[in-house]
Amino acid sequence: MDAPEGCPALKPTRGRILATPPSEVRRLHALPLRLSPGCDLRREIEQAVAALPSQSGFVLSGIGSLTRANLRFAAAESPTSLVEALEVLSLGGSITPEGAHLHASLSTASGAVLGGHLGYGCVVRTTAEILIAVLPEWRLSREHDPATGYQELTIARRLDSDVA
């Protein structure tokens, strides 16, 4: 898929974590993306997935480079802005209609590695190459979890009539 115009264990988890046997995952579609310089990494991922019938998926892999990054480190209230040449070493997370929950590992020109929650305003320097897994048989969303206080991932099987 070209960059958008204008841009140079899966069972319901109410109270427990369950793994889904591979035999229950019947279909998985891959969505490869290549983002151009100047693109907002998180925003473009969210927009590409929002255009899909399922409006959700998982980032399986992501690499590339950035000129700016906004990472929220563990237990931090707000993101830290990094303005320098950065390499995207890894990128992963989930995307739902409510938004993305992405984590990234980045390296600086000196080789220092930083990681955290990927915020908006992460600007692609030369390229970003992302592979997204789309699971048309599953509905992913985010709901408030009183145990954590955060909007957490919820997973439900789609009805056969809903599967595209």
Is-contact 135 27, C-beta < 8 A?
yes
Residue 164's pLDDT band (boundaries 50, 70, 90)? low
What is the pLDDT at residue 155?
A: 92
pLDDT at 160: 64
Determine the average pLDDT of the residues in 25-38.
89
pLDDT value, residue 131: 97
Q: Hey, which residues does 139 pair with through a beta bridge?
A: 156
Domain ranges of the chain: 26-159
Number of Cβ within 10 Å of residue 17's Cβ equals 7
What is the predicted pLDDT for the residue at 4? 43
Spelled out in words, what is the top-level CATH class assigned to the domain 26-159? alpha beta
pLDDT exceeds cutoff 70 at 135: yes
> For residues 66 and 111, is the Cβ–Cβ distance under 8 A?
no
Kindly report, residue by residue over 73-108, the tens digit of the pLDDT. 999 999 999 999 999 999 999 999 999 999 999 999
Binned at pLDDT 50, 70 and 90, residue 125 comes out as very high
Give the residues across from 108 on adjacent strands.
none
CB-based contact 86:65 (threshold 8 Å): yes
Q: Which residue from 130, 135, 109, 100 is spatially nearest to 39, judged by alpha carbons?
A: 130
Paired tokens of 141:
């969303």
What's residue 158's pLDDT?
84
What average pLDDT does this structure show over 41-66? 96
Q: What angle do CA 39, 40, 41 make, to 5 degrees?
A: 100
